[in-house]
Amino acid sequence: MEPTHHKQSNGVATGCIMLIVLFIIIIVTSIVTQSNSKEILENNYKKNTKSHSKTKALLHSQPLVIKKLKIPSSAIFGESIEHVTIINDSTFRVINYVDSQTLKAFTTRNYYSCTVIFANDGKIYSKDLIFIE
Q: How many domains does the chain have?
A: 2
Encode pLDDT of 53-101 as tens digits: 999 999 999 999 999 999 999 999 999 999 999 999 999 999 999 999 9
| One domain for residues 62 and 119 | yes
The domain containing residue 10 runs over which residues? 1-51
CB 36 within 8 A of CB 62: no
Encode pLDDT of 24-36 as tens digits: 777 666 565 555 5
Q: From 15, 30, 51, give the residue that closes a domain.
A: 51
More confident residue, 115 or 12: 115
**79 contact partners, CB below 8 Å, separation of at least 6:** 58
The H or E element spanning position 97 is strand 91-101
Q: What pTM, to 2 d.p., does this model score?
A: 0.61
